[in-house]
A and B are shown apart, each in its own frame.
Chain A
Amino acid sequence: MKKEYNYAIKSKLNTIEELVQIMKLNFKLILPFLYLILGLIPLNADLIRIMPLGDSITYDDRHSDHEGIKRPSSVRTGYRSHLHYQLADAGYPVDFVGSRVAGEAIVPAFDPHNEGHPGWESYEIADNVYRYLSINPADIILLHIGTNDYDVSVAGVNDILDEVDLYEELTGRFVRVIVALIIDKKDQDDIVMAGFNHNLNNLLQKRILNGDAISIVDMYRGAGMTSDDYADNTHPTDAGYQKIANVWFNALMEPYNVALHKFPYSLVPRSHIRSISVDETANQVVFITDVPNNGITF
């Protein structure tokens, strides 16, 4: 019942979002407050809000869905259903958030909300992620993007992460981003995908050293995908999605102390922090920071 209520609220949000798009106004700053005033942000303190963010691999859209008999969106689940079940079984019911709905007819039911945009490149996600977070605030983002870029450049992913940082800075909210080194093409030997993931790993390592609250998961080789796990040259089968869900699940189960990651930002503005390091047991944070002109008060 509660869930149905949430779905009803979110469908209202979709309508509002469409209106905003039509008006083509920059609501970047006022959107969060507007939605809060309207009481439409589903703030559920009991559940961790996770935003599955990406392209067709997040939404679950295969090449065959555009030829002949299309699967209805209500049965497309991708990794999301598997992950939702795994988290629930482990005692962590979560709220998947996003403006899109896919997989709502699957039994057993899971939360079908997501921000999977088939065909989109990383730059398109970057242009919209601030708005997505404003409408559906998330504690954690699961980001799998870059397949449609088909380029070794990771500038678009960098833009996405900059937008998330901007959202955090302007709203005072903290968002943990788990970024995937993306899955390979079916034949597992694509040079462009290898180059993209190499550059992505370098980018993420650099951002982590600079204090960004990012975790890296390896879908590229770490998910154990084989050519049998692909429905076409790009998109996984259900068995492939199960493997992807396993990787997300393991990352979510690793020790991660939000309070500790937030601590440096409670003392100094983000721009002054040079590096942050949290130990493996998530018990201690060490960071190096420039002292701002007005000093640091503990």
Chain B
Amino acid sequence: MSERGVAVAGIGIHPFGRHEGQSGLDLAVTAARVALADAGLRWGEMDFAVGGSDAAGKPDTMVARLGLTGVPFTNVINGCATGGAALRTARDAIMSGAHDIGLVVGFDKHPRGAFDPRPQDWGLGAWYGDLGLMLTTQYFGVKIQRYMHEHGLSATSLARVAAKAFRNGERNPAAWRRKPLTEAEILASPLVADPLTQYMFCSPSAGAVALVLCRADLATRFGAPPVYLRAVSMRSRRFGSFEVFSPSLPTDRGPSPTQEASRAAYEESGLGPGDFDLVQVQDTESGAELMHLAECGLCEHGEQEQLMETGATEIGGRLPVNTDGGCIASGEPIGASGLRQVYETVLQLRGRAGERQVTGARTGFTHVYGAPGISACAVLSR
């Protein structure tokens, strides 16, 4: 770890869900004010800000609400990895020595139903959408189908992941779906993209998260127990990785951006898969959680069923995964999800996660994945 470090001085969330009558920006302003209050700081004390949103407008327009201080405010957009990319941008602004303290905010608000991106925005011809291929759900179905073929996982495992998400969500006041569902109910819900059913998928929702980041040596000045951001990494795809919105893919497999970003975070932090008290990984659907655990090196490929059978991924288990209910229980406001994972980790490392507290948590890991093949990971410690 380099000498100059970064800490999280304040955290704020606007609960995830459907919020009629409020814009995504409204939620973001709320989250920003909560994070500033948590740090005991004013907006005018921010040296810089970074904001990410995929579909809810330009983040920097919130200066009109928070106050026109002239602060440099950078907008970031990287699909479902937007929150991770915003975090990295903000972290780097402090690591570079350019700034000492700043706000990073991620938010979104999406209409009901599956995302309906335009092919032209993703470097694809209109024909791709015309024929009905412009759906992220298809990618997740195809990827887990192949993975189950190669590693022998069962549909019950997929249901088990979702059941855990709803159980954890029940204990999280900021989650959207807080009603536990049985594995049988999850398996019996309508198929969305075989073998994945409705309750194995997250749904687009609305929400916002903000963090105040500061130079590590300043961290003890603020009210909350400091949590240190030991690494933030980000990678786009390499040749051979299988990614969403791909009209073709090479049959020679290469490392995924998740594999590469996680390894970079381990290297930078000096911590590895065996060192974490809890982890948050992108669970756009149940299969993604299982595959990302292995891609991050947190278990072996094919070992996931055994992990779940022994309760390892539950709160109280050896490696609690998605302790706040993840995307499955929180819903997916694209720009907010990456920062939600960091919010949850900070809350846990402060020992203030209430009913879902992982006892004695000192270290955590977060992972986001987004189209068209981006991953961002972070390592945090007390």
Query: Is B a genuine binding partner of A?
Result: no
